Amino acid sequence: MARDVVYGIAVSAGISIGKAFFINRTSRRHIPRETIPASRAEQEIDRLTAASDMVRDEFEAARAKVPVELREHGAIIDSHLMICQDPKLMLAAATRIRERLITAEWALEQSVETIAAAFSAIDDPYIRERIQDVRVVADRIMQRLLGGYSSTRALAERMVLMAHDLTPADAIELELDKIMSFATSEGGKTSHTGILARSLQIPAIVGVEGLEESARDGELVIIDALRGRILIDPSEEELATYSDLKYQFENYQKSIIRQCKLPGETVDGFRLEIQANIELAEELQSVLDNGGEGVGLYRTEYAFLNRKQPPTEEDLYREYATLAERLAPAKVTLRTLDVGADKMMNSQEKLDEPNPALGLRGIRYCLKHQDVFRMQLRAILRASVHGNVAVMFPMISGLKEVRQARYQLNLVRQELDEQGIPYNPDMPVGIMIELPSAVMIAETLAQEVDFFSIGTNDLIQYSLGIDRANKHVSYLYQPLHPAIVRSIKYVVDAAHRGGIEVSVCGEVASDPYCIPILMGMQIDGVSIAPQAIPGIKRIIRQVNMEECKQLLRDVLSHATVSKINRKVRQTIFKRFPEELTFFASLLDQDD
């Protein structure tokens, strides 16, 4: 048995076996609560300023030599530079030194924790994770204050890199050919660390609790980035097991990557469009590398959420036009601003609502704040001449909302006509189907728009009346609940009767157990995480429609989740034993 096993979030799939090497570990070093005489205060502030200046110079140097494989992360280094130069952090620390007569290290740590406490109260996970950027900068300054920094330059062999956090600036200083994988204490799926790992295409686990306390430099570890765990000082038996699994997975990866540019087509010729869900332009390369046939869901709200001031029309136009140009002739579907509830813009005062998930969010927010909505629609229409752009409205509950949204779109078209600004007059307009009310009137809605996209994550939660983030009821999040399967099929049939296409953009679409059922309904496409595309394409290319339809008939014949899940597990595992070795499933939440 391994000496210890710690768990985190697997953000870049794979397995590696090697010796641990820590950098940036000083963040966990105990900072003594040392007071100083008043005469030393300015000296401590000078130390703090010098350390900050040193880090700023390092970031600027790193920014100037961003390698090709990290070129999309230049903006992240810019954001770290801005934090480094932001007077709030440094001024707060300097004020603490003067008023409390404490060391620069202690003042810096207290200032960061004050900022972290403010971030922790933010509901939106994307914004909440931005505290990691502040910590990254502060950790780097702290290392300079403490005089300790580890470099990979002296490494004589390839190692498993471990760190409190890892930034693009850190990565630029690394000799990547000496790094086989990495694990960090901080970070999440949408953190810069997670994006960095996927860009480097090496196994990685982030947000590992107890990593720095458990692992030691030079100790043998197994990084299991398929299941999100790290085995520290493994046994001979575990080494043998994971060596075999590593070999199998690498062969599997080579196989699916070789085929990822092939179309998502069944053996009997049914073609499914495989697109990607993304929220950052940095992810676009990953879409192309993994064989994505476009972007089926671009979450535009992140341009509004992660900044002090709201974006201008020009900001949005440049962002959307760049996406359209890089993807053309493939399609990019821009979902209009989906804020409200737990995703509040910095410029907006948080709404005081008793049930924000059922309140002013999605299209409701946009129709309430028409100035913001129309500004975004102008940017989308202007970008539409640069490629194959579609627009999609979220959180539609009824016909009136669709017509109001289209009315605003037409007003913007008239403005652009009057100003002589070009746009695509035939830009497709679609809606998200994610509320039970929209399901029930899908046939009517299909007469008003050009396409549907079924958002299964919200549809499941609103249909079953549960929040899957709530540990007390998350077990009720059942993708194959009979009501969910029948709802999706009802929408697909209504769309096709109305002569429009329908895709699925929730997590269900990237679940290997669920995709054959969706195919049995004859959906037209899916939009999933870029990294899931090769594996899902592989499954699609091995099935035929008749077996998918039969599986759907079997599922529809059962009235309970347990019977449906059992039937699906038996069928799919028997059909794809090799692929499912490496996949997690939403059905794993059952039982």
Per-residue pLDDT of 189-224, as tens digits, reads 656 677 667 667 789 998 898 898 888 888 999 999
Query: Which pLDDT score, from 0 to 100, does residue 227 have?
Result: 85
CB count within 10 Å of CB 584 equals: 14
Query: Is 386 a residue of the active site?
Result: no
Query: Which pLDDT score, from 0 to 100, does residue 281 have?
Result: 79
Q: Where are the beta strands (DSSP E) in 15-64?
A: 15-23
Q: Are 295 and 210 in contact (CB under 8 A)?
A: no
Quick one: angle between helices 192-200 and 131-146, nearest 10?
Answer: 80
- Enumerate residue ranges in the chain where pLDDT < 70: 24-32, 65-75, 121-130, 147-156, 167-174, 176, 188-192, 195-196, 198-199, 306-308, 340-353, 469-471, 583-591
Indicate if 260-582 has the same CATH topology as 32-146. no
Query: Is 30 a residue of the active site?
Result: no
Q: Where are the domains of the chain?
A: 16-23+160-253, 32-146, 260-582
The greatest distance separating any two alpha carbons of the chain, rounded to the nearest whole angstrom, comes to 83
260-582 topology per CATH: TIM Barrel (3.20.20)
The CATH class given to the 32-146 domain equals: mainly alpha
Query: Which pLDDT score, from 0 to 100, does residue 312 have?
Result: 93
Q: Which of 4, 24, 9 minimizes the C-alpha distance to 224?
A: 9
Give Cβ neighbours of residue 424 (< 8 Å, ≥ 6 apart): 381, 384, 385, 389
Q: Are 533 and 260 in contact (CB under 8 A)?
A: yes
Residue type, 296: G
Q: Are 457 and 395 in contact (CB under 8 A)?
A: no
Query: In the structure encoding, which two tokens stand for residue 417, read together?
Result: 């006509």
Does 458 belong to an annotated binding site?
Answer: yes
Query: Which pLDDT score, from 0 to 100, does residue 199 have?
Result: 65
Choose the catalytic residue: 84, 505, 514, 548.
Answer: 505
| The Cα angle at residue 442 between residues 437 and 448, in degrees rounded to 5 | 115
Domain 16-23+160-253 is found in CATH 3.90.180.10: no
Does 299 belong to an annotated binding site?
Answer: yes
Query: Which pLDDT score, from 0 to 100, does residue 404 have?
Result: 97
Q: What is the pLDDT of residues 491-519, one digit of tens each?
A: 999 999 999 999 999 888 988 899 999 99
139 to 49, 146, 375, 456: CA distances (angstroms):
14, 10, 39, 39
If phi > 0 it is left, if psi is from -120 to 50 it is alpha, else beta; for residue 176 that is: alpha
Does 497 belong to an annotated binding site?
Answer: no
Choose the catalytic residue: 192, 260, 366, 386.
Answer: 192
Does 335 belong to an annotated binding site?
Answer: yes
Distance in angstroms (rounded) separating the CA atoms of residues 523 and 502: 6
Instruction: List phi, psi (to 5°) of 104.
Output: -60, -40
The answer to whether the bond into 329 is cis (omega within 30° of 0) is yes
Residue type, 116: A
